[in-house]
Amino acid sequence: MSETAALAELAKRRGFFFASNEAYGGTAGFYTYGPEGAALKRNIEDAWRDLFVRELGNMELEAPTVMPEAVFEASGHLEGFDDMILECAECGATHRADHLVEDAVPDIEDAEALGTERVAELVAEHGIGCPSCGAALAEEPVEEFNLMFGTNIGPGSGAPGYLRPETAQGIFVEFPRLKEYARNTLPFGVAQIGRAYRNEISPRRALVRVREFTQAELEHFIDPERDRPPIEAVEDVEVPLYSASAQTGDGDGGVERHTVGAALEAGPLESEWVAYYLGRSVEFYERIGIDMDRFRYRQHLAGERAHYAADCWDAEAEIGGNWIEVTGFAYRSDYDLSKHGEHSGEPFTVFRQYDEPRTVERAVVDPDMSYLGPEFGEAAGEVADALEALAGRDRSAFEGDSVTVELDGETHAVPVETTGFAVEEQTEAGEHITPHVIEPSFGVGRLVYSVLIHAHGTDTVDDEERSFLELPAAMAPTTVAVVPLMTKDGLDERAEGIAARLRADGFEVAYDDTGNIGRRYRRQDEVGTPYCVTVDYETLEDDTVTIRERDSTEQKRVSADDLSAVIRRLVSGDALSEL
């Protein structure tokens, strides 16, 4: 059985995750996290929040998941948030065309970057058929399909809106207010953990590609000319880099390990800010239990990089022989804030104070509206605005007798003498700038899936095969299980009392008195519980209990009164043998 198939069976049987709505036949692309999975997911989110909000001193918000159409028109999602769809003429099944190519052609890892025409050619060249009915797909068109879920805001037809396809826009649209909370001072970061929705053409691979998922995103707003990250904090961190040159054959073709400092000095890292977050994130991945031998940072190729991204890297985890993206690190420049400022008319800028006031020459206009009004009618105000914008960017346009402006594709000539054009000296204390954005965006569900795959193992204990999850203690859904040796002679009452006290001390505790003691240990090992506490007859005599460690199966007796302190030491990294 493959590791993904083994995990799917374990996840459903032990309550980590399972397909939703199975009583009604199921709904592709939607998963429910069971009791174990919800706890693991929450622990990973808390670890992310601990580093990217608390330790780095960033703000956190929670924005709505439904937003009006205007937001996505400004962001470009209405026109450009598409995947490649291919429909079978025989059975009517729809498929993600680039995925069909990737499955059929092992050498192609990212067919999406090739474009619809090339993907259609590859479908024909390789004789790819419909996975549902087997019919040939060579003559079928490959088209773009927008992934956003549409809705209406308000009764009846209402106002058009969409379920957000990423949490980032909920941060960007609130920038005018958020900058006030940051005292109008750059740099500052705003984080959010929340749900996003994408109407995937072909959901697949369990939690990897779904239609509803959780993102943990940080938008870090900077002054690109003044702000630098504290690279010294991560310059010695080793990062496994799969560069663009290695992917295209210009390099040695594999992952190279460099320190952040060395990779910035000699390549392939270019952006200090992206490099900084790659380095900081290593700590997070190690903390949650990603196997760093099955992990890499892959640089985007030119064809797959978003048009606004100056540099972009993906953190990828190896699962079942495939590499999946778990995080994207992008330098988004000023694209998002500029677009929202342009579409909304609100100031998505920050005032940058000069060290000393500056005297500058500014081209200004003061149009004669008694001329513009009769000449241009209702468009007079737009002509005046166009003249002002033109003066700001090209004062030479006003050197002749007339100046030409363009409105809605039509050109209009205006006598220069009616524009009130002049060049004036002005003293300025500063200027308004549009911040740039660095974005680390984490897929929480994919992290959960990767951690489970990397933690899952089997071995033999007492001549019996054991399945276990080697989760970090701080990530495990349950920290400690309390198990009475027997359910008589007061052992169960004593065990229940110990479990209650551990819960009061802040631990996630399971109480298990079903089946023989070995079976109970195996059950806890399989869901990743790092420690079991056994209450036996010796407990009634000297108030000691046995602690069993999951990974080594080592056992040690400790005082019941010291139990909480001992467990805290174990969770913080002390070995049981050292106690």
Note the pLDDT tens digit of each residue in 474-515: 999 999 999 999 989 999 999 999 999 999 999 999 999 999
Structure tokens that stand for 528 in this block: 């990743």
Is 88 inside any structural domain? Answer: yes
484 and 571 fall within a common domain: yes
Same domain flag for 424 and 494: no
Asked whether residue 502 is assigned to any structural domain, the reply reads yes
Residues 483 and 574 in one domain: yes
Q: Is 265 in a helix, a strand, or coil?
A: helix
Tokens of 505: 């001390």
Q: Looking at the predicted structure, is the pLDDT value of residue 555 above 70? A: yes
Residue 570's domain is classified under what CATH number? 3.40.50.800
How high is the pLDDT of residue 252?
65
Which of 120, 144, 168 corresponds to the end of one domain? 144
Both 399 and 490 in one domain: the answer is no
Is 258 within the bounds of a domain? no
Indicate the pLDDT class of residue 463, thresholds 50, 70 and 90.
Answer: confident
How many H-runs (helices) and E-runs (strands) does the chain carry?
19, 28
Tens of pLDDT, residue by residue over 509-546, are 999 999 999 999 999 999 999 999 999 999 999 999 99
Same domain, 495 and 573: yes
The mean pLDDT of 77-104, rounded to a whole number, is: 90
**Average pLDDT of the residues of the chain:** 94
Domain final position from 106, 128, 144: 144
pLDDT of the residue at 296: 98
Q: Single out the residue in 144, 164, 184 at which a domain terminates.
A: 144
CA distance 406 to 399: 18
Q: Which pLDDT score is estimated for 309?
A: 67
Establish if 543 belongs to a structural domain: yes
Q: Would 497 be classed as within a structural domain?
A: yes
Cis peptide before 435 (omega within 30 of 0): no
The mean pLDDT of 261-274, rounded to a whole number, is 94
Structure tokens at 369: 């509206």
Residues with Cβ < 8 Å from 262, sequence gap 6 or more?
none
What are the backbone dihedrals phi and psi of residue 50, each rounded to the nearest 5 degrees, phi first?
Answer: -60, -40
pLDDT at site 242? 95
Give the position of tokens 């959780």: 214
Q: What is the pLDDT of residues 302-312, one digit of tens each?
A: 777 666 666 79
176 in a structural domain = no
pLDDT at residue 108 in the model: 86
pLDDT, one tens digit per residue, over 394-437 is 999 999 999 999 888 889 999 999 999 999 988 888 999 999 99
Kind and range of the H or E element at 259? Answer: strand 256-259
Whole-number pLDDT of residue 180: 96
Please tell me whether residues 483 and 395 are part of one structural domain: no
Dihedral angle of Cα 553, 554, 557, 559, to the nearest 10 degrees: -80
Within a domain: 366: yes
Query: What confidence tier does 40 reach under pLDDT thresholds 50, 70, 90?
Result: very high
Cα angle, residue 411 at apex, residues 405 and 412 outer, rounded to 5°: 65
Whether 41 has a pLDDT exceeding 90, the answer reads yes
**The predicted structure's pLDDT at residue 251:** 63
> Which domain, by its residues, includes 516?
478-578
Span of 59-63, 353-357, 468-472 with lowest mean pLDDT:
353-357
In a domain, 260, yes or no: no
The pLDDT value recorded for residue 308 is 64
State whether 559 and 496 are in the same domain. Answer: yes
DSSP 533: E
Q: Could you give the number of structural domains in the chain?
A: 3
